Amino acid sequence: MKKLLLSILVVVVVAGLILTGCGEKSTTTSTSAPTATSSTAPAKTYYLRWAQFATAVLEDSQPVIAMAENIGKRTNGACKVELFWSDSLVPMFESMDAVRTGSAEMATFPFGPFGGADPRFNSSEMPLYYNTIEAQVEAQAALMPFYSGVFEEKFNQKALTVRSIIPLNPGNSKRPLKTADDWKGLLVQTISPAMSKFIEKFGAVGAPASPIDVYELLQKGTVDATVQSLGKYYEAKLWEVCKYITNCEFISASAVTTINKDVWNKLPKDIQDIILDEAKKCEAEVNRLTLKIYYSYLDELNKNMEVYNLPAAERAKWQAILQPVVDDMLAQMGGFADQVKKTAEDANKKYPYPY
């Protein structure tokens, strides 16, 4: 009997040791899972604040939002992009300098306001330079690497995308602008001193003022005419105070997205590649939407005001009047002008003026 009890005791002790061993193995397995998960977390997180001059609700802002989100997803959170809309991080006119100094890692802003900082930026707003919106979109996008060279050379930043903005056309509250002589004596609200110089070649007087005030200026008769994008005519319902618009691709416009060069150089190569890939996709989608929106605006304006499509022969006369202005702009750009002329010639050959 004693031998039997001893044998049972030995079995119980051995079984206990086996169960204890199994319990330790189970504990080790359960703690290994968090270790594996944590190993996929980024060793370092890069934060990019992206300043925008536009608002988030616009249709062509959606690809920008997608780009920011996709960078975060594709880098597994190693690069997080935060968007700041409507000048909430920095005012638009300070955007370029904000990226230069690093007070914003990224920004999107029009070239136009910065032509004074470098005349090469004026190439985005050439009067009567592109035949169509398609030519403008294609040529400006083709200039992106050359624009980036300017930013890297002088402003401590790299260009990621160049996107076209709906071109500007003249509108008049008194009569349609059908010939160059129709400009004479008009007081025209413009958005910049440079644009005032354009219209003064026709014998008009330029009055630079904020686009925000254009409706009231036209309503009160403070100005006779304006030069605005089709988007402004549509969004502000300018047809209520401005009956006539001349459609002629009068002045092109585009915007750039840049990133601080020091920040860019510190990013790992795989993150740089992801940003460049997403920027390329974003630019293509924004430009696609720009074409769509342009024609939808034009359709709506045709329903609410008299749209005069300037005939090619008359447009050629306007171009001749403005040719000294264009030549002077190109002369100030130095060697950069060669790329501006080539991209424009290629795009204009592909897309002839339609009227």
Q: Model confidence over 66-99: pLDDT tens digits?
A: 999 999 999 999 999 999 999 999 999 899 999 9
Determine the average pLDDT of the residues in 47-74.
95
Structure tokens at 36: 């594996």
Confidence class for position 191, pLDDT limits 50, 70, 90: confident
Mean pLDDT of 237-260: 96
Residue 137 has pLDDT above 80, yes or no: yes
For residue 41, the model assigns a pLDDT of 64
Give the mean pLDDT of the chain: 88
> How many other β-carbons are positioned within 10 Å of the β-carbon of residue 333?
19
Among 60-69, 192-201, 258-267, the minimum mean pLDDT is found in 192-201
- By percentage, how much of the chain surpasses pLDDT 90? 79
pTM: 0.82
The confidence band for 26, taking pLDDT boundaries of 50, 70 and 90, is very low
Question: Token digits for 30?
Answer: 């359960």
Whole-Å CA distances, 125 to 164, 177, 228? 10, 21, 13
Q: What is the number of other CB atoms lying within 10 angstroms of the CB of residue 354?
A: 10
Angle between helix 336-350 and helix 312-332 axes, rounded to 10 deg: 160
| CATH 3.40.1350.10 corresponds to the domain 46-350 | no
Q: How far apart are CA 156 and CA 262, in angstroms?
A: 7
